[in-house]
DNA sequence: AGCCGCCTAAACATTT
DNA sequence: TAAATGTTTAGGCGGC
């Protein structure tokens, strides 16, 4: 946190920051201006132009839709006026369909613009929203048309009746139909209100709990208590809006409007008539029956520690009686409570979903680790695995007060989303608040794809720093690629694509990426005729070692270099970068490592024979070759030839592990081309065996 | 308090 | 020549 803010402050002065200063297009900096020299297609590079375009489309569509609606309504009014004889007995039937009533449900362009300006929606989300909006309007139109026809029919009948003075039954029927339609319209309105509400929420949350049509996935990943509280407050504040619907008995039919039936664990809202309080709504789920408070008269799920636990309420109630009173008065069966219940249903649903996922994950983890679990289904015991203590601590610190604060940047149109807690799952292993509790700290636990994917949508849209180290992310980027290899630029693009956070301060994080690539042993630079790319050695990643400090600069001219290049023209880059340190591992050292069962340079754990693994294999092979050469010479061609035979690539020299070579057993036989060398050895106090875990 | 890992900035070298 | 890429170091910060 402290570091975070400090960092931000620092980077505020950077040129990059200034470059996008004053603009609300937060996406325009970062990797987006990068030339894509590699010609890869950026998947979701969202630029200002894209946003503007989407915005324009939205507005156009909305305007067209509104015009259509308006026209219809005008027509209707005209037709109404044109009705030969208006029956005064039916005025109520004319009222519901009015511009005043319908239009507020449709998102105005201004609202949309507002949403867009907050820039919390990805183009995909925008598209979904647009489609939803259009679908809703279409529905609305259809209903209106139908209603209009019905009305005409009714009027016709009334006319006939006036002339004939009969058929009261039919009239009654039609009137009933009309009433039914009124209800339908009300439901439509509700739906639209909900839609609007969701959009409003999106302005704050990016993700929309009450949105039936939108994919629930983002929400499923994204809710944390703080956000939920916020959500409650919104719902509360939206109360007035909902109240305008007035006599909506139908609005209490919660299940019709809110719950996506696609969700695996269905929840149903039950009006609990047996609750100790009148009209109290309680959320029942199939799995978690709330405590029966009939059995515990003074224990109520909504009451605890003298406080009303109704979401968003927290009213202090001295005793249970006053709580009941409060409950009855403040949380009676009304629209607000209903809406809140809807939200709560969503919450429960998401949590269940999340729980199921995490249970599954835990099971897989345990299976993988061969941990005997007596109760695989039970709540996860704090396994003595990765630091549950740490996690719980960080989780506890992930309070809204300690949010990552980035508002110092003028470029950041900070929506509440960006200020929201950075971690959105409650159960993920790496629950991290703003604190940079890095996932792979110490343990170098690789991020699984699921870890990132789980919150993928969130991080894509919320400018929240992901709780992963650069190394972990780079590794993830590389491993996600089909070939398990990426150019630097592709790595950049992955970052910008996957994390909204990395769409600004490009200089900073790009530099960090480069630094990490160079610094971590696990990242292997490979070069072919098309350029260079990076692969990852997963085993090395888990070991988490860095290239040792004090390593001499790789760019040191050397007299042997020309000769080397002569033999291996394609090695130019790598040779010149570090040939001086391609110290052969002597047999003793290797034996030592073998004794320690060090899986040095074994193939990466990802399974697929990829180039990354190939690189590792090559190195392995190279090590074997070194074993035989017993060379004191610098790493010249003999070691390299096999590599080239295997693949027209070569890896950076670092793989030869100067670290080991410089350990106590090290027989650093290379000529010291660098004056820093002895200096390096002075620094290098890392004995091999210690290094070997 | 000291160590360690991570992040950031910066300087510098090399390549494109 | 500028920008991108790559390497290395220093210093700050938080966690342990």
CA atoms within 13 A on the CB side of A89: 8
Q: How confident is the model at residue A495 (pLDDT cuts 50, 70, 90)?
A: very high
Instruction: Tell me which of A166-170, A173-177, A457-461, A637-641 is least confident.
Output: A637-641
pLDDT exceeds 50 at position A400: no
pLDDT in tens, A210-220: 333 333 333 33
Cβ atoms of A44 and A122 closer than 8 Å: yes
Cβ atoms of A290 and A281 closer than 8 Å: no
Instruction: Tell me which of A131-135, A232-236, A295-299, A588-592 is least confident.
Output: A588-592
- By C-alpha to C1' distance, B9 is nearest to A508
Mean pLDDT of chain A: 49
pLDDT in tens, A511-551: 999 999 998 888 999 887 778 889 988 888 877 777 765 44
Those nucleotides of strand B lying less than 7 Å from any protein Cβ are 5-11, 13-16
Q: How far apart are CA A90 and CA A75, in angstroms?
A: 19
Distance A7 CA to C11 C1' (A): 13
Q: What are phi and psi of A575, to 5 degrees?
A: -60, -45
What's the mean pLDDT in A412-417?
A: 29
What's the mean pLDDT in A11-37?
A: 32
Q: How far apart are CA A476 and CA A158, in angstroms?
A: 71
Let me know the angle formed at the C-alpha of A654 by A652 and A659, rounded to the nearest 5 degrees.
175
Domains of chain A are: 6-17+386-519 (1.10.10.10), 209-369 (no CATH), 531-691 (no CATH)
Those nucleotides of strand C lying less than 7 Å from any protein Cβ are 3-10, 12-16
- By C-alpha to C1' distance, B6 is nearest to A469
Q: How far apart are CA A693 and CA A680, in angstroms?
A: 22
More reliable by pLDDT, A421 or A472: A472
> How confident is the model at residue A141, as a pLDDT?
59
Q: How confident is the model at residue A491 (pLDDT cuts 50, 70, 90)?
A: very high
> How confident is the model at residue A538, as a pLDDT?
83
pLDDT exceeds 70 at position A309: yes
Strand B closer than 7 A to residue A407 Cβ = no
List all residues 6 or more positions away from A336 whose beta carbon is below 8 Å from its beta carbon: A235, A236, A239, A242, A243
The kind and range of the H/E element at A178 are helix A168-205
- By C-alpha to C1' distance, B13 is nearest to A555
> How confident is the model at residue A367, as a pLDDT?
63
DSSP letters along A457-514, please? HHHHHS----SS-HHHHHHHHHHHSTTS-B-HHHHHHHHHHH-GGGGS-HHHHHHHHH
Strand B closer than 7 A to residue A545 Cβ = no
- Can you give A55-100 as a three-state secondary structure string? HHHHHHHHHHHHHHHHHHHHHHHHHHHHCCCCCCCCHHHHCCCCHH
> How confident is the model at residue A32, as a pLDDT?
32
Burial of A223 (C-beta count, 10 Å sphere; 0-12/13-18/19+): buried
Distance A590 CA to B16 C1' (A): 39
Q: Which of A22-31, A484-493, A672-681 has the highest mean pLDDT?
A: A484-493
Write down which residues 436-495 in A have CB closer than 7 A to strand B: 436, 438, 440-442, 444, 468-471
> How confident is the model at residue A489, as a pLDDT?
92
Instruction: Give me the residue label for tokens 């072919």.
Output: A528
> How confident is the model at residue A493, as a pLDDT?
92
Cβ atoms of A17 and A411 closer than 8 Å: yes
pLDDT in tens, A427-446: 333 332 223 444 434 344 55
Q: How confident is the model at residue A370 (pLDDT cuts 50, 70, 90)?
A: low
What 3-state DSSP class applies to A122?
coil
Q: How far apart are CA A210 and CA A235, in angstroms?
A: 10
Which tokens is A427 given?
């159960």
> How confident is the model at residue A84, as a pLDDT?
32
DSSP letters along A236-282, please? HHTHHHHHTT-S-GGGG-HHHHS--TTSSS--EEEE-TTSSSTT-EE
Strand B closer than 7 A to residue A522 Cβ = no
Strand B closer than 7 A to residue A525 Cβ = no
Q: A114-152 burial, b if ≥16 CB within 10 A, otherwise e?
A: ebbebbbbbeebbebbbebbeebbeebeebbeebbebbe
Q: How far apart are CA A220 and CA A114, in angstroms?
A: 25
Distance A613 CA to B15 C1' (A): 26
> How confident is the model at residue A517, as a pLDDT?
93
Strand C closer than 7 A to residue A636 Cβ = no
């Amino acid at each position: 946190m402290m570091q975070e803010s400090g960092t931000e402050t620092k980077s505020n002065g950077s040129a990059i920051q200034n470059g996008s200063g004053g603009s609300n297009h937060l996406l325009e900096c970062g990797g987006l201006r990068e030339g894509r020299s590699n010609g890869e297609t950026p998947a979701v590079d969202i630029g200002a132009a894209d946003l503007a375009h989407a915005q324009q489309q939205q507005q156009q569509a909305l305007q067209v839709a509104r015009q259509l609606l308006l026209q219809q309504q005008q027509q209707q009014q005209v037709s109404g006026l044109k009705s030969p004889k208006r029956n005064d007995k039916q005025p109520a039937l004319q009222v519901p369909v009015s511009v005043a009533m319908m239009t507020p449900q449709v998102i105005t362009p201004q609202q949309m613009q507002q949403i867009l300006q907050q820039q919390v929606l990805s183009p995909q989300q925008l598209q979904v929203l647009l489609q939803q909006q259009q679908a809703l309007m279409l529905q609305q139109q259809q209903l209106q048309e139908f209603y209009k026809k019905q009305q005409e029919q009714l009027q016709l009948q009334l006319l006939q009746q006036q002339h004939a003075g009969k058929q009261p039954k039919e009239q009654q029927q039609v009137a009933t139909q009309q009433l039914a339609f009124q209800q339908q319209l009300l439901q439509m309105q509700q739906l639209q209100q909900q839609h609007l509400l969701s959009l409003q929420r999106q302005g704050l949350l990016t993700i929309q709990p009450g949105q039936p049509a939108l994919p629930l996935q983002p929400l499923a990943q994204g809710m944390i208590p703080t956000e939920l509280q916020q959500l409650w407050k919104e719902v509360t504040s939206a109360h007035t809006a909902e109240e305008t619907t007035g006599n909506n008995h139908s609005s209490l039919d919660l299940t019709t409007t809110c719950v996506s039936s696609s969700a695996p664990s269905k929840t149903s809202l039950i009006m609990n008539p047996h609750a100790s309080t009148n009209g109290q709504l309680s959320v029942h789920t199939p799995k978690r029956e709330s405590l029966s408070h009939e059995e515990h008269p003074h224990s109520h799920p909504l009451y605890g520690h003298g406080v009303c636990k109704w979401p968003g309420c927290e009213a202090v109630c001295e005793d249970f009686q006053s709580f009941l009173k409060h409950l009855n008065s403040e949380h009676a069966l009304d629209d607000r409570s209903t809406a809140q219940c809807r939200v709560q249903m969503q919450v429960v649903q998401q949590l269940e979903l999340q729980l199921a996922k995490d249970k599954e994950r835990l099971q897989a983890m345990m299976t993988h680790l061969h941990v005997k679990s007596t109760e695989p289904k039970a709540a996860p015991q704090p396994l003595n695995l990765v630091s549950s203590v740490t996690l719980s601590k960080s989780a506890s610190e992930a309070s809204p007060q300690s949010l990552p604060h980035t508002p110092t940047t003028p470029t950041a149109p900070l929506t509440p989303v960006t200020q929201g807690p950075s971690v959105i799952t409650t159960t993920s292993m790496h629950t991290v608040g703003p604190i940079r509790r890095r996932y792979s700290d110490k343990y170098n636990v690789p991020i699984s794809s699921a870890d990132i994917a789980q919150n993928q949508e969130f991080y894509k849209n919320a400018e929240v720093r992901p709780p992963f180290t650069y190394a972990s992310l780079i590794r993830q980027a590389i491993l996600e690629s089909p070939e398990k290899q990426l150019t630097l630029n592709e790595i950049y693009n992955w970052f910008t694509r996957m994390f909204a956070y990395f769409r600004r301060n490009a200089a900073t994080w790009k530099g960090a990426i480069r630094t990490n690539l160079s610094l971590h042993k696990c990242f292997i630079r490979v070069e072919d005729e098309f350029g260079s790319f990076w692969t990852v050695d997963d085993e090395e990643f888990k070991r988490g070692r860095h290239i040792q400090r004090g390593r001499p600069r790789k760019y040191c001219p050397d007299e042997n270099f020309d000769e080397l290049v002569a033999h291996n023209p394609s090695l130019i880059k790598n040779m010149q970068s570090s040939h001086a340190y391609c110290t052969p591992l002597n047999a003793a050292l290797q034996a030592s490592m073998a004794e320690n069962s060090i899986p040095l340079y074994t193939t990466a754990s990802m399974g697929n024979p990829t180039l990354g693994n190939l690189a590792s294999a090559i190195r392995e092979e190279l090590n074997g070759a070194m074993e035989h050469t017993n060379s004191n010479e610098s790493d010249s061609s003999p070691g390299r030839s096999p590599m080239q035979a295997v693949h027209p690539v070569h890896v950076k020299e670092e793989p030869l592990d100067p670290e080991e070579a410089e350990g106590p057993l090290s027989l650093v036989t290379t000529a010291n081309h660098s004056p820093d060398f002895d200096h390096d050895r002075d620094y290098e106090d890392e004995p091999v065996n210690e290094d070997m875990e």
